[in-house]
Amino acid sequence: MNFSIFGDKVNCKSGIKSLMDDLGHAMAVNRNMLMLGGGNPAHITEVQSILRNSMMEVMDSGTLFEECVGNYDAPQGNFKFIEEMAALLNREFGWNIKSSNIALTNGSQSAFFLLFNMFSGRFRDGSFKKILLPLTPEYIGYSDVGITSDEIFTSIRPEITHLDDHTFKYNIDFDNLTIDESIGAICVSRPTNPTGNVLSDSEIEKLISLAEQHDVPLIIDSAYGIPFPDMIYTDARPYWNEQIIVCMSLSKLGLPGVRTGIIIANEKVINAVSQMNAVMNLAPGSVGAVIAESLVKSGEIISMSRDIIKPHYKNKAELAVNLFKEKLEGVDYYIHKPEGAFFLWLWLKGIKIDSDTLYERLKERGVLIVPGHYFFPGLTDDWIHKNECIRVTYSQSEETVRKGIEIIAEEIRKGYL
């Protein structure tokens, strides 16, 4: 049995497949595995209580549950949720958007599959366009979404600023950032998965100016960002205009299982996404939108993010950093300044083993992390830095994080010998 080019491509080994296999296997089979690799959000008691109450309201509301699971929504997504989302964003940020500027997808991963293939690849005039990632490392899930080609991304090395003995930060190297007719769109995540980096307002405004100058969309992946789940621990303002596509999600709010992505864009893009939804899925799922609608309408989704979710992860970030400082004393390591999301990005400068080997050693000891080389889509040069980095999540329980970091530190020390 032979597959098509597309079939062969999506059937090959990928970083996101390995990550989700490890996550799913640990959750279902090996529950003793210390999960410091995946992107599963923490089960925050207060948040789960709010979401459970919202679900119970759906169950007790007469016919709403039956309509939610028994009827298709339109390809654009659940219209009541979309209306309330437009109202919320206008109320909070003055964006002046309409329902026609929002579409839902079955998770943000689906959103990026649609958007990246919409703006990259082979065009009718024979040209081949790419997605520019102005800052790497970037999200592991971007890498393999091209329909027939892996070569849909281009990126450059970041500027590295050392902040103190063991902390550093990536910034966009605008001096070497080139945009020409081969670029179909620009994409950044804010905060950045895997590093916890938050692009400054100045960096975002420069990217907006470049996008407008070259008439390409700027895609801002806000899965961890503003307005929810608001895992940003530094000053950052939200942006949207007709040139910008903002992608959000209910996953990191605490609802990864309902697979609900949110795209905010101009009407031409939203119409195209709706058409693609119809072809691929008939319609996006309704459950997440129905559970979250009342939280969006009341604005509780904002206060929950600001008052519960953000401080929860900010405190966990401080704990994880302090644990690594304690356990890695005397080692030449660096942690990217944790400005958002729920990951620490460790740069193990000069380590004698690559990140894949470290990953395998840790897996044998019952700890899952993610090796760093997967997070550099579009960066084709042979940069040793890519193999000196790992991503560690601190979203799990304090006991899991403490045990995991102790083992990680032991294996890192061995790796320097």
Q: Look at residues 302, 328, 346 and tell me which one is the last residue of a structural domain.
A: 302
Q: What is the DSSP letter of 106?
A: S
6 is a domain residue: no
The first and second tokens of residue 292, run together, are 């979250």
**Closest Cα partner for 137 from 411, 405, 336, 317?**
336
Specify whether 351 is located in the same domain as 390: yes
Specify whether 127 is located in the same domain as 252: yes
Whole-prediction pTM: 0.93
Specify whether 273 is located in the same domain as 197: yes
324 is a domain residue: yes
1 is a domain residue: no
Specify whether 298 is located in the same domain as 326: no
User: How many angstroms separate the CA atoms of 322 and 325, rounded?
Assistant: 5
Q: Look at residues 269, 302, 335 and tell me which one is the last residue of a structural domain.
A: 302
Helices 398-416 and 355-364: crossing angle in degrees, nearest 10, is: 130
Do the Cβ atoms of 312 and 42 come closer than 8 Å?
A: yes
Specify whether 27 is located in the same domain as 60: no
Q: What is the DSSP letter of 42?
A: P
- Outline where DSSP puts E strands in 56-116: 102-105
**Closest Cα partner for 188 from 155, 163, 220?**
220
DSSP 219-288: EEE-TTSTTTT--B-S-------TTEEEEEESHHHH-GGG--EEEE--HHHHHHHHHHHHHHHSS--SHH
Q: Tens-of-pLDDT digits for all 417 residues of the chain?
A: 877 777 776 676 665 666 566 656 555 556 689 999 888 899 999 999 999 999 999 988 878 888 888 999 999 999 999 999 999 999 999 999 999 999 999 999 999 999 999 999 999 999 999 999 999 999 999 988 888 666 899 999 999 999 998 999 999 999 999 999 999 999 999 999 999 999 999 999 999 999 999 999 999 999 999 999 999 999 999 999 999 999 999 999 999 999 999 999 999 999 999 999 999 999 999 999 999 999 999 999 999 999 999 999 999 999 999 999 999 999 999 999 999 999 999 999 999 999 999 999 999 999 999 999 999 999 988 899 999 999 999 999 999 999 999 999 999 999 998
Specify whether 254 is located in the same domain as 383: no
Which structural domain range is residue 138 located in?
49-302
Q: Which residues contact 292 (CB under 8 A, 6 or more apart)?
A: 54, 81, 250, 253, 255, 260, 301
Specify whether 228 is located in the same domain as 361: no
User: How many angstroms separate the CA atoms of 330 and 78, rounded?
Assistant: 54
